[in-house]
A = this chain, B = another copy of it.
Amino acid sequence: MILEIIDILGVVSFTISGVLVALRKKLDAFGVLIIGFVTATGGGTLRDLLLGVRPIWWLIDTRVVYTIIITALVSIVLRKYLKSVSRSLFLFDTIGVAMYTIAGIEKSLIINLDPVICVAIGIITACFGGVIRDILCRRIPVIFKKEIYATTCMLGGITFFALRQILPGNSVIINITSVMVIIIIRILAVKYKLQLPSLYKEKRKP
C-alpha cells in the first residue's frame, strides 16, 4: 500500500519533471509525452530488470501508464502556469527522487539484498530516469551537476537503514522520515550551494 502510493506520487512528479525539460527543448507534443514517460518509468524499469522482478511494474499496473498520460497532457495544457513557477522543475524532481529512492530500497529488501546494494538500487531507481531524460535531450546528466544529487539519495538510504535499527517494524514512519530527509537535504543543498569538497585545485582568480 505504502509502496503503491510512493510509486504513483513519484510517477506524477517525475512525469512533470520530464515534461518541463522536454518543453524547454521545444519537442512536439508526442516527444514531450515520451520524455515524460521515460523519466517516470526509466529508473523503476532498470530496478525491476536488475532485481529480476517480472513483469516490469508498469506493464501490468495500467494505472501507472494512464497516470503518466494524464499527467503529461494536463502539464502540456497548463504549461504556461507550470513554467511561470520557476522552481517547479526542481521541486518535482526532488520529490520524485526521494520517493523512488525509498521505493527502490523497499523492493530490494524483499529479496534480502545487502544494505549497501539496496542503497545502490535505490540510487539507480531514483537517478536513472533523469539520466535517460538528459541523454535523450542532450543535456549534461543531472547527477553530475554541482549540487549534490545522488549523494542525497545515499544519505536518505543511510537514514532508512539507521531508522530500521532504531524503530524496527515501523515501516510507515521509516519511509516518510527517509523521504523527508532526502527532500530537506536536497533543498538545503541547493539553497546554500552545498557541494562535495573539490578534488581539483581551483585556479586562483587574479
A residues whose Cβ falls under 8 Å from a Cβ of B:
23, 25-32, 34, 37, 45, 49-52, 54-56, 58-60, 62, 65-66, 69, 76, 79, 111, 113-114, 116-117, 120-121, 131, 135-136, 138, 140-141, 143-144, 146, 148, 150-151, 154, 195-200
Asked if A143 and B50 sit within 8 Å, CB to CB, the answer is no
Q: Across the two chains, which residue of chain B brings its CB closest to A68? A: B120
Chain B residues with CB under 8 A of A138: 140
Asked if A199 and B79 sit within 8 Å, CB to CB, the answer is yes
- Select one of B31, B65, B121, B141 contacting A120, CB under 8 A: B65
Asked if B23 and A199 sit within 8 Å, CB to CB, the answer is yes
Number of copies of this protein chain within its complex: 3
Chain A interface mostly: helix
- Select one of B45, B114, B151 contacting A30, CB under 8 A: B151
8 CB < 8 A contacts A-B: A28-B146, A28-B198, A30-B148, A32-B199, A45-B50, A52-B56, A65-B116, A136-B141
State A39–B89 Cα separation when bound (angstroms): 29
User: In the assembled complex, how far is the CB of residue A126 from the closest CB belonging to chain B, in whole angstroms?
Assistant: 12
Chain B residues with CB under 8 A of A31: 143-144, 150
- Select one of B52, B144, B148 contacting A27, CB under 8 A: B144
- Select one of B27, B62, B116, B154 contacting A117, CB under 8 A: B62
